[in-house]
Each structure stands twice: as structure tokens, then as C-alpha cells.
Amino acid sequence: MRISYFFILLFFFAKYSGQSSNISATYNFPKIKSSITMPVTIPLDEISNMVNKSVKDLIYMDDSYNDNNDDQFKVKVWKTRPIRLVGDTNGNILIEVPLKIWAEKGIGTLGIYTYQQTTFETVMYFKTAVSLKNNWSVSTFTQPMGFKWVAKPVLDFGKIKIPITSLVETSLKEQQYKFCKTMDEQMASQLNFQEYAVLAWNAFSQPFHISEEYNTWLKITPININITPLKFYGNQIDTNIGIDIFSETFTGTKPESSPTAKSVMNFNSIPVLANEFLLQTTANIPFSEATHIARKTFLDKEYDIRHSKVKITDIKVYKDENRIMIEAETEGYVNGTAFISGIPVYDELKKKIVLSETKFKLKTNNILQKTATLLFRGKIVKMIEEEYGIPTSELEISSKKSIEDAFNKEYYKGLKLNGKVSDLKPQQILLNENGLTAVIDTKAYLKLIMKGM
């Protein structure tokens, strides 16, 4: 049972839809301490499959008449159907074992016996308490809970009918205790998760290439594991696994791998885990695209100023120190070049990258027009602040789709991942010579379901 897959973290992609970029600037991303919380569901039929494979169809056989104080009794016990497991609300697994029993009994004296055989069915019941130790081993304690006769066994010798319930029950009780030991041994050996936890832990040693287009890498370093108590339901066991991590994002050169672990620390048992995790990635928007958006918005548009008009004849966007510069050529009431710069920030309501803390400068050869600078400044700055923005809705939609596509796949046979992005938005806007880099915070959740493993 590949429980290591509990800890598989899926990488995701974030890109600006339809745009190519040669942005290659590097940025020292912060090392973020976060937690990945994964609700885990273990269907009890998976454990049933394991138990049924370990318990042979012929459970017990006594093929001697002379053992047990010469009891002149033989018996064979088989499973008639697969062993069934059901969870209860007290943290136990209830086990139902349907049986077919063949029995043969001899009656007589002085070594002369007449033998009669019969076949009948019963159901044995068990209760297993399961606990997960913090060293990754499983502790189980299975107890017999009796059995139910479909019909009590009777040997028919014609005029003499001999009930053999007591004889059979003696054998069944003995076998029930042996079965309890078998169950505990099998579950302890099959459900020791330490080796799988090491495999999962080391799965994070290699950085994830989260964007080939922007050559962005995500490095995950696990530092701690938390698990909530197991919860039992009728057909499944639920728990939450939380991995405390450091996530680091790199651009350009692939970062070094984390050291390989040979063992995994004990986990912490805690009552509740958060339902979301936070990771950062990036998306880049070149200034060529920012200029295209500005031209589409403003080029050849006319604006009224003091009963006259100003027309924007050309416009471009570029970096000026730590600000975005919008350079607009104008004619009409003002002939010259207007320079409007600002700090790029993300506007969540508009879902755009807009300018804040704007500054204005006008370059013109017409000295009279310089006296109108204040009026023109108020008009064009307000226009730029209200109308110009680099939309991020496509970026957010495509990023969300990429992540959820990765979160809803069966990467390994028997392991189905189900996930949803609850929130995704640019949080910080960085500038380089070629464009803008949006640092994207992502909140999401994952659910892992084992099926058919």
C-alpha cells in the first residue's frame, strides 16, 4: 500500500496567457514558511483487499479423529465471501468473516464408529482498534466478538440427531483468537509507513520547474509533519496530514537539491489542521505588452481641456529606476511629451496592475503652454490613473486552470488527487529592464483518495 503518495506535492504553472517573453532578470524571493494540508481518505475496502489476500480461503482444518482426547471429530472452515470491514465512531474497525464449515463426527464404542458429516454456515465477528504511532507504525488490537449461526450444526444419524454446536464452537473460538493474531501481524507489517514517508520526503529534494517559459523554479523543503487523529466512518478512514515547509522560488539557474534523508522524524499529533496552504510563484509581463495595452487604450484619443483638445499621438511604457514610466506624445492644446511615472501595484477590485504615487513632468518648447501645465497635469494624470492598467484576469484564470488541472489527476495507479484553488492573486509587482514580474500568492487545498491500490 503506497502510503508515500500521501505526501506527493504537485507542482503548478503560472503564465501570462498568449504572451511570450525574454525576461531573464533574477529576484531573491523570500523563504516562505507555510503548510501543505491534505485531507486523506483511506477506503476500508482497500484494507479489506489486503486482509483478504493475507487470509487464505481455507482458514482452519482438523483432519484427525484421534486428537483432542480422541474426539472422533474432523472439521474444515472456509471463507465463503470476502472479509468485510466497517468503521464505527469509536475508532474501531468492525470485521465480518462469513464461513462455511464442514464437520464429520463419529459415534460408537470399542473402536467401532459410525460417521456422519454435515455442512453449514456461520459468521464470525471481530473488533480492531487502530492507532497510528508517531514513529509511523500502526498499532492494532483485534478482539473476537462472537459469531452468529445461520443454522446450528446437527449430525443426522436417522433416529439419532446429535447437535455438535459445542464441538464446533470450541474450534471456532480457538480459531478466532488465532485470527486476531493474524490480523494484527498483517496490519502491523503492511501498514508501517516509515519507509514510504522517507520516499515521500525525498520526493521534495528535486526542485520543480514550474514555468519553462519564465525559467522559474520552486523548491520545497519539508521541515515538520503533523497528523490529526484517525476518524472512522462506515466505509472509510479520514485524517489530515500537514507538512510544514519552506517554499522558495528561483528564476534562472536551477537551485541545488535538498539533502537526501535516510529517515523521517516522528510526526506530531494535533487535533486540527488548517484547510489551506500558501505558495508563491511568478508570472512575467514584458514592457512590449504593457506598451501594447497603453496604445490600445489611449492612442489617437482626444481629450477636452479648456475648450480645446489634446490628442495622444504616441505612447510607450518602460522602467525608470523603481517606477513604471508612461511617455505620451501629445498635440493640440499641448504639443510635447508628457512623462507620468508611478509605482506598480495590484488592484484587486479592477484585477489590474495600476500605478500609484504618480509623478508628472512635461517637456514642451512652447513657453505659453508651460503655464497650462497644472491644468493639463490634472487631466492626464487622472486619466492615466483611472483608465490605464495591465489586466491580470487572464493571468489569474490561466494560472488557476493550470493548478487545478494538476490537482485533479491520477498520477499513480490507485491514487486520485482532488484539489481546488480558493484564492490566487498577484501580491507584489517587481520591475526589471524588460518588464514586470508579478509575485503570485496561491491558496489551495488538496484531497488524496486511494482506490484500487
The answer to whether residues 305 and 379 touch, using CB atoms and an 8 Å cutoff, is yes
What residue segments make up the domains of the chain, in order of their start?
A: 3-43+194-282+393-426+436-450, 44-190, 287-391
pLDDT of amino acid 96: 92
Q: Which long-range contacts (CB under 8 A, 24 or more apart) does 174-177 make?
A: 175/59, 175/60, 175/77, 176/124, 176/126, 176/144, 176/147, 177/144
Model pTM greater than 0.75?
A: no
Cα-based distances in Å from 206 to 7, 203, 330: 14, 7, 53
- For strands 160-163 and 154-157, give the pairing: antiparallel
Contacting residues for 49 by C-beta, under 8 A, at least 6 apart: none
- For strands 277-286 and 302-305, give the pairing: unpaired
Per the listing, cell 465477528 goes with 125
pLDDT of amino acid 7: 29
Q: Which of the listed ranges 44-48, 241-245, 427-431 does the model predict with the highest average pLDDT?
A: 427-431
Task: Say whether pLDDT at 190 is over 80.
Answer: no
With CA atoms as reference, report the closest residue to 412 among 384, 382, 450, 374: 450
Please tell me the least confidently modeled range out of 48-62, 93-107, 188-202, 397-411: 188-202
Task: Say whether pLDDT at 221 is over 90.
Answer: no
pLDDT of amino acid 357: 92
The mean per-residue pLDDT over the stretch 77-104 comes to: 88
- The CATH number of the structural domain formed by 44-190 is 3.15.10
Quote the CA–CA distance of 117 and 106 in Å, as a whole number: 9
Cα-based distances in Å from 18 to 110, 240, 294, 395, 426: 97, 38, 18, 10, 18
Average pLDDT over the chain, rounded to an integer = 78
**Between residues 210 and 223, which one has the greater pLDDT?**
223
Hey, how many other C-beta atoms are within 10 angstroms of the C-beta on 110? 5
With pLDDT > 90 as the criterion, what percentage of the chain qualifies? 11
With pLDDT > 70 as the criterion, what percentage of the chain qualifies? 80
Task: Say whether pLDDT at 15 is over 50.
Answer: no
With CA atoms as reference, report the closest residue to 426 among 401, 394, 386: 394
Helix, strand, or coil here: 310? strand
Task: Say whether pLDDT at 453 is over 60.
Answer: no
**Between residues 245 and 413, which one has the greater pLDDT?**
245
Task: Say whether pLDDT at 382 is over 70.
Answer: yes
434 backbone dihedrals φ, ψ, rounded to 5°: -100, -15
Question: Which residues face 246 on adjacent strands?
Answer: 33, 221
pLDDT of amino acid 25: 46
With CA atoms as reference, report the closest residue to 179 among 103, 79, 65, 102: 79
pLDDT digits 0-9 by tens, 295-348: 988 898 888 877 778 889 999 999 998 999 999 998 887 888 989 999 999 998
pLDDT of amino acid 16: 30
Task: Say whether pLDDT at 9 is over 80.
Answer: no
